[in-house]
A = this chain, B = another copy of it.
Amino acid sequence: MVNGYLETYNKLIESAKREFENKEYEKVSIRNIASGANLTIGALYQHFKNKEDLYDCIVSPICDGFISITNDRNKDFIDSLERDEFSIISEELSYITNDLLKYIYDNWKIFRILILNDKTKIYKTFFNTIVENETKMTQLMIEKKNISQYEHLTFKKLKSLISAQYQGIFALMRTEDDIKNLDNDLHLLFDFFRYGWIGVLGI
């Protein structure tokens, strides 16, 4: 009985992934998800409230995983700030980028479902969380490094810069499905942003 329940649940999740991979959120239908799992709509509603619920069940583990990595890495980053060596800070930043990229590539199909549907509530929360976290880290770095000439960079201003940066990164990820090509283009974009930060922060 319990096995049957889980089996049905998994069938529905797999069918929903296939639907969301190939269609925009608005065009995904509950009916197709059910029939793709050889189940009735009634059976689907025993497991999920609605389309949004199904979508959240698919993408939320990836959002949580991503944010958990940034939180862990941010702790290391704060440590490296304490040690106050620029080479360590810069190394730490490239570790964080590589870790996050690896996580994204390992979960590419689901991550793409997430970023392709940027009008969903869960995407907006995810986007805002990572931007806020990175803004806090950047502000902390400015304080610790005592970069007083950058006092004009308020939280709001830093946030708008970091938000623009992620918009650019995710937009690029939306245009390219092939990870190899994407990785190539992303590294150019990261270089571009790195030079931007060097110029704006003087670091």
Residues of A within 8 A of B (CB): 26, 153, 156-157, 160-161, 163-165, 167-169, 171-172, 175-176, 184-185, 188-189, 191-200
Contact = CB atoms under 8 A, between A and B. Distances in A.
Contacts of A160: 172, 175-176, 185, 188-189
Nearest to A185: B160
A161 B161 CA distance: 16
A163 B176 CA distance: 13
A199 B193 CA distance: 9
Contact of A195 (B26, B164, B196): B196
Nearest to A171: B167
A194 B197 CA distance: 11
The 5 A-B pairs at the shortest CB distance, nearest first, are namely A195-B199, A164-B168, A167-B171, A192-B196, A196-B196
Contact of A168 (B156, B168, B175): B168
